[in-house]
Structure 1
């Protein structure tokens, strides 16, 4: 079912007599249950005001189209949304609605916030077929902000986005990456914490244990970047790591690979995404049973590659965070669940919330509530 207008979306929801699998570009690897309803046809930038640093776009608008428009005004989507296609083997084109519905946030999250923090307003269709408008189109008119944020990360289970309003930011003049070689996991996490705790404004912090390579990104005016890189080099010299600097071109490649988990492209196995306290990261990775892993968000995000069917949550045990099964075959995703089980009290609350937004239980049924 291909949706090309908001009214068609309303009619489809009102007429649904079974589950609907809500899709944008179909690139995020979300399990399908029910009739596929694609909103990729809801496409186009409705409003772009560079001076106000805001853009409004229909949910099916390709992310690359928005990025191209912003680049023309030397602006960007600062949350640098990940492209899942090479990791998951999916096709199609990532859409802005899909990125917001999944709250897809890249390496810069540690400095500017998550995708949801840039969402100013939404239009969506709820489970009764009603069109809901919430939030605003500019930063000074963001009413109902909490409901706007609630839609981000709900994976289409609360409503189907038809339009989003976003805050954008200027592109920096330049950037570079400080590379530390030779640190183990614990040493790298400590070094990243030290860098983030400094006044030198690090906008990316990641570590690859397989190469013992730790990357720290600095962005801004050219003179400021050069100054901060030297200060960071001096600050981290006590780690004993060999320290180098990568220029703009090399830095771009490094962070694109980190953002899109290029280390796991073409490798067999299941892919897990663990969000945790950075200081807990090395211990969690060590007991995960994974074949390989790497850290983003200064250790607060771990990407892990395991043998097919491995229950990483059981191997890790209880921890302060959650583990999402990003890539696996359909049987293992059904058996293990894509999302981390919620505590009983929270599960009751979120189940009631979904029932309020989607009383017929038709949107991506069972995705975030397996008991449904």
Structure 2
């Protein structure tokens, strides 16, 4: 059976949950920032995987490690030399000099060696044939890279959007993509769409978006961003299809006023994380913010139930204060009270996502309507 391996991004829990959602029947084993599985995907489908590849060899670490590793590498390169005339190898410094000679002997003509370093996207863009030698427990894994997340694409898309701002408080596009991948549904409703970044991030993986917000000015920005993103995505060679979207002004707490049938949509939204504290918030400030969130989401979830929306993926704020996290623990009881059930991600009902030097993080949850 083939084995595949993926490098997890900075929020490992979210990447694991995303992979599990994309590959529901896949077996997975997570160790040291790597996810190993029997299922292959291109990491560019995801928002949380960095790169991935095939495990083409395994060498047990013992007194014969070097000999066995070089034999395995020589055998693999020789068998695939027609495709490996140009080759990059990421390997520890102790093996670097000898592996260069080995690769030449096996038939590779142009060889790039990275000592104690992993290839970045620039390395991958210049050369698609990379072999990594990675230590996992008592083995060295020989990995042939097959896909690498196109960070350049995301950076350019973000910076070129008509209405974009890289400041803290604007949802990261790759986080938005990960949220979208937590549902199989191709029809998405974002009732707190803001500038439309969720739709921008998922134009190639979803069929349609319904986008609403209470702020009319946000909708104008949203429409401009989505139209630009449609054009930007169409430049990718592997892009297929034409995403549909509709926008309208609406308070997410009163969806029963909406004539449109939303029952076939899944709600996916960043939500509203409240005040972005530039300094560590006080206990009183946190309690006030969580009280606002509780009231808001009571109304939104009740409104979603009224429209028979069966699945809701959203974010609540959590607060990082002196090394201790304050979580919105009210959501478990609140969801059940309204008639929704929280989905578990690797044993927990939430995923925590945050960046360094932020006081407010994303508390990611998914609820499904109970029958």
TM-score, normalized by the shorter chain, greater than 0.5: no
> In terms of Rg, which structure is larger?
2
Structure with the bigger RCO (C-alpha within 8 Å, sep 6+) is: 1
Please tell me the TM-score bracket, short chain as reference: under 0.3
- TM normalised by structure 2 equals 0.27
